[in-house]
Copies of this chain bind each other. A is one copy, B any other.
Amino acid sequence: MYKQLGVIGCGLMGGSFALAMKKAKLVKRVVGYSKSPSTTEAAKRLGVIDVVAESALLAVAGSDVVLLAVPVSATEATLKAIRDLVTPQMLIMDVGSTKCDVSEAARSALGDRLPSFVPAHPIAGKESGGVQHAEATLYQGRQVILTPLPETLPQAVQAATDIWSSLGSQVLKMTPKNHDAAFAAVSHLPHLLAYAYFQSVATQPAGRDFLSLAGPGFRDFTRIAASEPAVWRDILMANKAEVLVQAGRFRQTLDALEALIKADDANALEARIRLISEARAEWQMGAPRLPK
């Protein structure tokens, strides 16, 4: 059992981690810091954290495990702020959706304290952010990707693996680069597309009337367009190169489908979407990778 968890950023992700750690009886005490005092007050009131810290550094003081759950662009400044209290016995993790930029930020901010830091990305979330939506089960049954650096202590990676496994997550390890390429494809691009699509409908002259007619397909397709702007600004900027590569691939497949429609080639269109529809029907979230 850990003595004290320090949570920096007590929103949906940080708050849910605190609740899950408490529920799993993995930690005695949770100290929380957020940029906005109303957030930590709410977190304390909701029983998510036990003690409010007045700064990120004070959330680290006395903690043996620390979770950074801030927008990725705040990673470097936050790690700099806590650096002096980081020890080799401490485990520091983040929950950012991009890992190359977080790794660079950690390298630049932590210097010789880098080995205590295990970059982590839990594949979980909700379209409604904020500590009021935090729940102990958010990470249960979900994948968590760890992207350890060459300097990362093996015992830190082991401790991170043990924690997430105890919370019911399936832990995978990847390089930051492979992580960012994969998530540009399966997460970052769909967010960009959902934002663009929702905007294109909402801003046309009859947009409000159209939106009043939209059904369950629209609801699910656009759910992620309600995602937190500051978080997604950072992700799209941090993983820009990979996101633009994936957007280019998407445009090519869209071009090809549109060309079949324009050419009135119903048979080819049906054959194409039959393959897609069957593959999507077979896909299951978190399914183990099949042998190639």
Contacts and interface: CB of A to CB of B under 8 A. Distances in A.
Interface of A: 73, 123-125, 127-128, 142-143, 145, 172, 181-183, 185-187, 189-204, 206-230, 232-234, 236-237, 240, 243-244, 246-247, 249-250, 252-254, 257-258, 261-262, 264, 266, 269-270, 272-277, 279-281, 283, 285-290, 292
A206 to B, nearest CB: 7
A274 B225 CA distance: 10
Given A233-B273, A269-B237, A288 B253 contact: no
A189 B185 contact: no
B124 A216 contact: yes
A127 B279 CA distance: 13
B261 A197 contact: no
Contact of A229 (B127, B190, B277): B277
A201 B186 contact: yes
A199 B243 CA distance: 16
Given A221-B220, A261-B244, A143 B285 contact: no
Contact of A253 (B200, B270, B287): B200
A218 B186 contact: yes
Given A186-B213, A247-B254, A266 B191 contact: no
Nearest to A187: B217
A240 to B, nearest CB: 6
Contact of A200 (B210, B244, B249, B292): B249
Nearest to A255: B196
Contacts of A244: 258, 261-262
A9 B246 CA distance: 40
Contacts of A189: 197
Contact of A261 (B183, B212, B243, B289): B243
B290 A221 contact: no
With a 10 A CB-CB cut-off, give which of A143, A246, A261 has the most chain B CB atoms. Answer: A261
A186 B210 contact: yes
B249 A204 contact: yes
Contacts of A201: 185-186, 246
Contacts of A230: 270
30 contacts: A124-B216, A181-B206, A183-B213, A185-B201, A186-B210, A186-B213, A187-B217, A190-B221, A192-B257, A193-B197, A196-B250, A196-B254, A200-B252, A202-B276, A204-B249, A208-B290, A214-B283, A215-B286, A216-B285, A217-B223, A218-B285, A219-B285, A221-B221, A222-B283, A225-B276, A236-B269, A237-B269, A240-B264, A244-B261, A244-B262
Given A224-B221, A266-B233, A193 B195 contact: no
Contacts of A229: 270, 273-274, 277
A110 B218 CA distance: 34
